[in-house]
């Protein structure tokens, strides 16, 4: 594996440790719908995403789900499982837009985090950023309407994938936003009527990024800044 990995976490590791660590990773391509880890289970692998997006989801007993975090090429998935204590949690992580990644068996990474100070320090920074983003999204999901949150999510996905074409059906969007399908239909319809997006057969096309930013809540810029200065 070469020096350039397209994953910010791996790129931030110091040399020559970066080369040594990366030589142990396996490259994989994972389609939308792939579960990276299940709730309340120890992950089999840890992933360093190089392209695509995965959502961290929490499901309730009535079957409803809500997204509590979005992961791209900035870090490692999972993250808090590696901090010590019980390596499980209430969330599952699902690929939303096809992912390419490097992976390593989760037990191997746990041992490496215990052994390597540079890896451990970077993991702590990653966990801190994820925690800040989670806090912002918690407030966003409580205080902002579905149209603002949909605009925010589409823009964040656009930033992480550098694409204006996003394939998601209404069921997935409803789970991501923690809203009813009818609510998502109304929100998407409102953005479409304003010619900010087009939407057909599960494909959303962002038509006007600047105006979509104006339609999003303030949380978009806050989360964007956290992603941009991830290990600062």
CATH number, domain of 66, equals 2.60.120.10
The verdict on residue 166 lying in a domain is: yes
Total count of residues recorded for the chain? 232
What are the tens digits of pLDDT across the range 89-112? 999 999 999 999 999 999 999 999
Q: Is the pLDDT assigned to residue 67 strictly greater than 90?
A: no
Q: What is the mean pLDDT of residues 74-80?
A: 95
Same domain (yes/no): 195, 153: yes
Per-range mean pLDDT, top range of 27-36, 67-76, 169-178: 27-36
**Residue 130 falls inside a structural domain:** no
Q: Which three-class secondary structure state does DSSP give residue 186?
A: helix
Q: What is the pLDDT of residue 200?
A: 84
pLDDT, residue 90, reads 92
199 phi, psi to nearest 5 deg: -150, 115
CATH number at residue 177: 1.10.10.10
pLDDT digits (tens, 9 = 90+) for 174-209: 877 878 888 888 999 999 999 999 988 778 999 999
The span from the CA of 83 to the CA of 76, in Å, is 12
Is 127 a member of any domain? no
- Sorting pLDDT into bands at 50, 70 and 90, what band is 4? low
Residues 6 or more apart whose CB falls under 8 angstroms from that of 111 comprise: none
| Total count of domains within the chain | 2
Give the pLDDT confidence score for residue 153 in this predicted structure: 93
Residues 161 and 224 in one domain: yes
Which residue range is the domain that position 221 belongs to?
141-228
Residues 104 and 201 occupy one common structural domain: no
Structure tokens at 134: 């989670």
CA 168, CA 185: separation in Å to the nearest integer?
13
Q: Which of 58, 84, 117 is the last residue of a domain?
A: 117
* Domain identity same for 25 and 69: yes
- In DSSP notation, 32-72 reads TT-EEE-TTS--SEEEEEEEEEEEEEEE-TTS-EEEEEEE-
Q: What is the dihedral of CA 70, 75, 80, 85, to 10 degrees?
A: 160
Query: Strand, helix or coil at 172?
Result: helix
Buried b (16+ CB within 10 A) or exposed e, 98-132: bbbbbbbebeebbebbeebeebeebbeebbebbee
Strand boundaries in the chain, DSSP class E: 26-30, 35-37, 45-59, 65-71, 92-105, 165-167, 197-200, 203-206
In this prediction the pTM is: 0.91
Same domain, 222 and 182: yes
- The reply to whether 128 falls in a domain is no
Q: 10 Å Cβ neighbour count for 35?
A: 14
The span from the CA of 58 to the CA of 46, in Å, is: 19
Using 50, 70 and 90 to split pLDDT, how confident is the model at 2?
A: very low
Q: Looking at residue 1, what is its pLDDT?
A: 42
Structural domain includes residue 52: yes
Q: What pairing do the DSSP bridges indicate for beta strands 203-206 and 165-167?
A: antiparallel
Residue 86 and residue 38 share a domain: yes
Asked if residue 83 and residue 160 are part of one domain, the reply reads no
Residue 113 within a domain? yes
Q: Looking at the structure, tell me whether residues 107 and 179 fall in a common domain.
A: no
Other CB atoms within 10 A of residue 65 CB: 20
Q: What is the pLDDT of residue 156?
A: 93
136 in any annotated domain:
no
User: Quick one: pLDDT band at residue 23, thresholds 50, 70, 90?
Assistant: very high
Sheet containing strand 165-167, strands side by side: 165-167, 203-206, 197-200
Shared-domain flag, residues 113 and 150: no
């Amino acid at each position: 594996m070469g020096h350039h990995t397209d994953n910010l976490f791996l790129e931030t590791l110091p040399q020559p440790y970066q080369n040594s660590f990366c030589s142990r990773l396996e490259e994989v391509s994972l389609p939308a719908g792939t579960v990276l880890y299940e709730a309340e289970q120890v992950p089999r692998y840890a992933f360093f995403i190089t392209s695509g997006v995965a959502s961290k989801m929490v499901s309730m007993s009535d079957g409803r789900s809500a997204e509590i975090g979005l992961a791209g090429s900035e870090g490692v998935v999972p993250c808090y499982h590696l901090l010590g204590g019980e390596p499980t949690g209430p969330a599952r992580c699902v690929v939303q837009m096809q992912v390419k990644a490097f992976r390593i068996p989760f037990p191997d990474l746990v041992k490496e985090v215990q052994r390597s100070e540079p890896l451990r320090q970077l993991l702590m920074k990653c966990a801190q950023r994820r925690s800040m983003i989670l806090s912002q999204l918690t407030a966003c999901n409580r205080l902002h309407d579905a149209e603002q949150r949909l605009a925010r999510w589409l823009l964040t996905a656009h930033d992480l994938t550098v694409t204006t074409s996003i394939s998601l059906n209404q069921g997935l969007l409803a789970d991501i936003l923690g809203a009813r399908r009818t609510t998502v239909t109304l929100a998407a319809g409102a953005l479409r009527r304003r010619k900010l997006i087009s939407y057909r057969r599960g494909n959303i096309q962002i038509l006007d990024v600047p105006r979509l930013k104006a339609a999003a809540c303030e949380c978009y810029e806050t989360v964007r800044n956290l992603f941009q200065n991830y290990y600062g």
